[in-house]
Structure 1
Amino acid sequence: MTTVTDLNQPTLQPAAPTGRRLSLPVLLLVIAGALALTSLVRIITGADGITNVSQMSTALQLAVPIGLAGLGGLWAERAGVVNIGLEGMMILGTWFGAWAGFQWGPWTGVLVGIIGGALGGLLHAIVTITFNVNHIVSGVAINILALGATRYLAPLAFEGHPGGSAKQSPPVDSLGHFTIPGLSDGLKSLNEHGWFLVSDLAGLLGGLVTDVSWLTLIAVALIPATWWILWRTPFGLRLRSCGENPVAAESLGVNVYKYKYLAVIISGGLAGLGGVFLSLVANPFYLEGQTSGRGYIGLAAMIFGNWMPGGLAIGAGLFGYTDSLNLRGGSANVHALLLLGALLLLAGAIWLVVRRKYVKAAITLVVGALVFAWYAGTDEVPNQVVSATPYVVTLVVLALSAQRLRMPKADGMPYRKGQGK
C-alpha cells in the first residue's frame, strides 16, 4: 500500500491501484486476439451463432446480474469485509423488487429492491464489523436466512393475486427497452455477412445497442463510476485503506468502522440491484430460486478480475456468454467452442515454453490435445455438458488466474478500534 501523510486532506491524490495488472494496450491486444481466434473458429466450424447479435444481446443480459453481484463483492472486500452473502442479498433484491414493482410500478421496485439488498448488507456489517463474527459464517447464514425469509413472505404477499402463487409473484410492468435503429440494423446486416473478425465485432457491438434495458445502462455505468470513486477520490482511498491496513488508516484519522459499514451496505445494495434485474428485466416476475447461484458466480468474477472493476466486467461478460449458450443453439455452439478451447490451450503451452516452464507446458499441451480429440471425434455435446458449461468455465478460469491474484491485505481479518495502540 502506498504511504500517504494525511488521509483527511481534501487535496490528497489517491494512490494508483496496486497489484499485478495488464496495461490497457496489452489488455486490448489480448481481447482483440481472443476475438480473432473466435472468428477463425466460427469460420472453420460454421457455428455462426457464437458471435451473432442475438447471442451477444442475451450474453449481455445474463452478464449484468453477475457483474452487479461482483461489484457488490468488490466494494465490501476493498474495505476488508468478505461478502459470501451476495447470493442472499440478490435473493432479497429479487423478492422486494417484484413485491414493490407489481404494486407501485417497476421503478419503485428498483428502489425497494436495492433497499432490500442493502438491509442484507447492513445485517452482514453489524455481525462482522461490530461483533467480529467470522465473515464466511455470517455470509452463509445470510444466504440461508434470505432464502427462508422469502419463502415465508412469498405466499403471504403473492397468493390471491392474478398470476401470483406461493413461489411466484404477479407479473410486473416492464422498465422498457431501447434500440438504436440505424446503428442496430447496420451492425446486424454486417454481422450476417460472415466476414472474418469484422462480422464478429459487429455482432458484439450490435448486442450492445439492440433491445437494451435502461437498467442495463445503469449497470454498465456503475463499472467506471466504481473505478473513479474508489481510485480517484479521497473517499475511495480511505475506504481502500481499511482493506489494506485498518490500523494505519485509524492512526491517520480514518473512522474505519464507518467506511466498512458504508462499503458493506453499498455492497448489499448493488447485489440487490442485480436481483432486481432478474425479477424485473430478465423475467417480469419473482420466481423462487431465480438467482441460481449468480451471487457466487459474481464473487468468482470479482476474484478473476483481481478485485478491479475492469477485470470484473470482463469476467462477468465471459460467464454471461457461457450462460447464454444454454438459451441459443447451445449444443452446436459449445461443440464449436471445444475447438476454441483447444487452440487457447495450444497458445498457452507455447507461452509457457517461452517462459521455460516446460512441465506446465507439456501438461497444457496434453489437455489441449484431449480437448481437440473430443471435438474431432464428436458432432455435438450432450445437453448436460451445455448446462454445466458456465460452472466449469468458472472453475477453470479461477484455477488459471489464481497465480496473479492479489487480494486486499486485510480482507476478512477481524478489526477492533484502537487495536494498534
Structure 2
Amino acid sequence: MKKAISAQKTKMYLEDLDAAAAATGTVKNASKSAPCVAVFDDVSKLANGAPVMFSGTGWSSLDNRTFVIQNIDRDSKSATLAGSDTSKETATFSTTNARYVLHAFIDVCAVSYQINQNAAAQIDTTTLCDDEKTYLIGFTDPGTLTFDFFIDPTDPDYQKLVDAQKDGKTRMFEIIYRNKAVRTLPVIVQSVNESGGVDQAVQGSATLKVTGSSVLTMPPGQTTDDYVLIPIVSPAVGDAPLEVTLTINEAGGKASSFLIDWKDDGEPVEEDSNIATHTYATAGAYQPVVTAMISGSASAPFKSQNSVTVTAPPYVLTASVAPTTGIAPLAVTLTVTEENGNADLLTVDWGDGSATEDLADDATTAQHSYAAAGSFTTMVTPTIDSTPGSAVSAAPVIVTAA
C-alpha cells in the first residue's frame, strides 16, 4: 500500500453505442479454455483493456457478449478475453461467420472522479436457539462512479453523455491510468448535472451506476499471461487410412515440447514441433488432446478445436471370366476380387438360365460349363450385413456351336 501514482494524465472514456465502430473484423479461431484466447485477423486497432463484442462464433459463451481483451500478442494476433469460459463448448467454432466489434468512445476529460462501492447488506439470521448473533452477507453492490468536468453545452461529446443518460443503456467505461493500467467497467448513466456562477467556468457532474464487476488490465510489462493452446486438426473428414495434420497454436508462452494423445488407443506421442502428423487406420471419431511442457511443467490438457471423422472406404467388388470365347460346351472360370472388406456372401448368376450358386467361404474362383451357343453375362451379387448389394458383371462370354 506504499506505492502511489499521480491522478494527473488519467484518461476516461465512455462507450458511444450510436457512433460507427472504431474497429471491426473477423475472429479466426478461439480456444476452448478459461479464459478463452481468441485469434483475430488484425489486432492493430485493439488495445489491452478495450471491450470487444463478439458474434457469429457459434459458441453461446461468446456470441453477443462483450469481453475486455488482455495480453495482446501482436505476432500471433491473439488476445485473452478476461472473464470468459469456453471450456464446455462442444460445437465447432465458426471460422467463416465469427466477427468482433470495437465500439467508439467519447472522452469525458474529467477534473476529478470517485468510485463508490456500497457495502453488501447484512442479513440477520439470529434465532432463539442461538447463543450469539448470526448473520449472512447479502448481494454485493458495485456502487457508483461520479466525475466532474468542464463543459461547453454545444460539445458533441457532452451531448452524447446527455443522450446516454436518456436512453439508460449499459455502456462500458474506461479509466486509463498514468502508468497505462486500464480499469474497464459496465455502467449506466444515471444523471448529468450542470452548474455555473460568476467568474466560474460552466461545470458538469455525472453519476454512473456500476452494473457489474470491473476488470483491471495491468500496465505493459506487468501482465501475467495465461498459457493457452489452440490445436486444429485437418482434414476433418476422410476415408481410412486417413493422414491428418495437427497444427498447435500457442498464446501466452512458448512450450518446449508437446505430448499428443491421438485418441485411437495408441500411446501418447511427444513432439517438439508445433505441427504433427498422424494416420488413423480405422473408422471412427477422434479428438486429439495436447499437453504442453513449459519450463519443465505440464500444462492442462487442451482438446483439439475440432474432431476427426474417419469413414470406412467403400466396398469394391470386381469379377472376371476366362475364357470369354469358345465352342460349346465351354468350361469357364470366374475370379472375384474384393477390396475394403469382405462380403458375407457372394451369389453367382451365370446368365444361362441355370440355378444361381453361392461361393464357398473365402473362395475367390468358381467353375461353370456353358452347354449351348449364345452370349452370356455372369453377375455376382454381394450380401453385406444381411443386405444384398449391387450386382457386378463380368465381361460377356461368347459361345459358338460345335
| TM superposition score normalised by structure 1 | 0.19
Larger Rg: 2
TM-score of the pair, normalised by structure 2? 0.19
Q: Which one has the bigger helix percentage? A: 1
Relative to total residues, which structure has the larger strand share, 1 or 2?
2
